[in-house]
Amino acid sequence: MPEIDLTQATNFDLWKHSYAARAENLAVSEVRALFSVVSRPEVVSLAGGMPDVSALDGDLIEKAFQSMMATRGNYALQYGGGQGDPRLREQIQEIMALEGVHGSVEDIMITTGSQHALELISDLFLDQGDVVLVEAPSYVGAVGIFRHKEAHIEHVFTDDQGISPEALREAAERLIETGHKVKMLYLVPNFANPSGVTLTAERRVEVLKICRELGILIVEDNPYGQLYFGQEPPKAIRSLDDQGVVYLGSFSKIFSPGLRVGYVLAPPAIREKLVLANESAILSPATFAQMLVSEYLAISDWQGQIATYRDLYKTKRDAALSAVQQYLPKVHTTRPDGGFFLWLTLPEGLNSKDMLPLAVTELVAYTPGTAFYGDGRGANNIRVCFSHPTAENVAVGIKRLSNVINQQIELNETFGSGS
Ligand code: PMP
């Protein structure tokens, strides 16, 4: 070990010489630094993808807690099994059935949020340089994990009907032909984060066909499927294939993210490995949180709560879309039928990351588009999350955002994109 000069050391680099090489990929984004400002009450944050938990019934959760302690308190306070609470896994079967997904209790595993499931799956499948196919753009938390695993992230052309099957086949075949191991396709088919786009039923069938043909595992991540504003989205891809799809779900968006309870349904062989990986990482998922979720499901009208969330987010989506229409006439937006997000495309030449400090001085924050790509794209995109602020504040936030964007557009038009 080299001698450490403590006079030179900072909190951050003291052990730099000891990190694993892959820790390089855990760098804090510049954007994160600005987010400390975002928690100030005067700033409208359209940044973090947070549910509006103020719509939950606190009394009911207290009741679930008391009932859990009275009936299963000793179990809730104890270690549990690595696969998760059997009663909760049965209840999850009922939730998954809403999306056409049917699977054995034996093949469900509880995780610490679906983020943890993604980490375990990635660790199980990805060696350095392996290819993960993803939408363009893709979920920032997944991109972060794939990067940490030193995978090659290949974004596949995606439009307002979801990922393009033609582009998927082209990318997969090209990469396979050039000797790459294409390990998985990671998708958020319903009301995607960050685009808000939903994959059509026809494309689901085509995507599945391509992946089967080329031996590519599909990881279907579906935290938003129940948060539809009109029609239900098409049935899950997993409803069409129980061997080629690993399906992820979460209580974060239909109940509460603070409990950190998610789940994965996998073909038996993969599930077995995932349980071993789960035990190796955390021994058992948090018993207390699982049992609280289970009790909540048992005593509440949880489907009614989801309907409440739907109405609430629909109102906020409407506020967001009409504010974009009113204040940002030169900006293209997706028009999501559910979920939390709008994806804005600014005129070419504008840089949303550079604009963020200006936006913060206008008391609004957002996530720049580059966060959702592993290859530097997205400079002229912005993710707007409308789920957390009130509908009024969503509109206020977008109006503030327009002060910055419209000024940049004007400068761009006057002086060109070099300005
Ligand atoms: N997948 C997607 C697409 C998400 O948007 C999120 C949360 N923002 C997650 C997974 C992780 O959710 P959690 O770990 O809270 O279940």
- pLDDT per position as a tens digit, 163-186: 999 999 999 999 999 999 999 999
- DSSP code of residue 337: S
- DSSP code of residue 329: T
The confidence score (pLDDT) of residue 30 equals 57
Residue 252 C-alpha to ligand 1 middle, in angstroms? 7
Query: Is residue 139 in contact with ligand 1, taking CB distance under 6 Å?
Result: yes
Q: CATH top-level class for 21-55+304-415?
A: alpha beta
**Placement of tokens 């054995």 in the chain:** 104
Please tell me the CATH code under which domain 78-299 is placed. 3.40.640.10
The confidence score (pLDDT) of residue 169 equals 98
Query: Is residue 48 in contact with ligand 1, taking CB distance under 6 Å?
Result: no
Name 274's bridge partners.
none
Residues of the chain by 3-state class (helix, strand, coil), percent to 5: 50, 15, 35
Query: Is residue 115 in contact with ligand 1, taking CB distance under 6 Å?
Result: yes
Spell out, as residue ranges, where the chain has pLDDT lower than 70: 1-12, 29-35, 417-419
The confidence score (pLDDT) of residue 48 equals 86
* Residue 211 token pair: 């992946």
The confidence score (pLDDT) of residue 38 equals 73
d(CA 190, CA 207): 14
Pocket test for ligand 1, best of 92, 134, 139, 222 (most atoms within 8 A of CB): 139
Strands of 381-385's sheet, edge to edge? 332-333, 341-345, 381-385, 367-368
Please name the residue whose Cα sits nearest to atom 9 of ligand 1: 115
Q: What are 136-172's pLDDT values in tens digits?
A: 999 999 999 999 999 999 999 999 999 999 999 999 9
d(CA 51, CA 223): 11
In contact, 186 and 121? CB cutoff 8 Å:
no
Query: Is residue 257 in contact with ligand 1, taking CB distance under 6 Å?
Result: yes
The confidence score (pLDDT) of residue 419 equals 45
Q: What are 278-304's pLDDT values in tens digits?
A: 999 999 999 999 999 999 999 999 999
Per DSSP, which regions of 285-380 are E strands?
Answer: 332-333, 341-345, 364-365, 367-368
In contact, 132 and 126? CB cutoff 8 Å:
yes
Q: Describe the crossing of helices 287-299 and 86-97 by its angle, rounded to 10 degrees.
A: 50
Whole-number Cα distances in Å, 305 to 56, 115, 187, 263, 339? 7, 23, 26, 20, 15
* Residue 377 token pair: 């794209």
Please name the residue whose Cα sits nearest to atom 13 of ligand 1: 113
Indicate the domain borders of the chain.
21-55+304-415, 78-299
| Helix, strand or coil, per DSSP, at residue 292 | helix
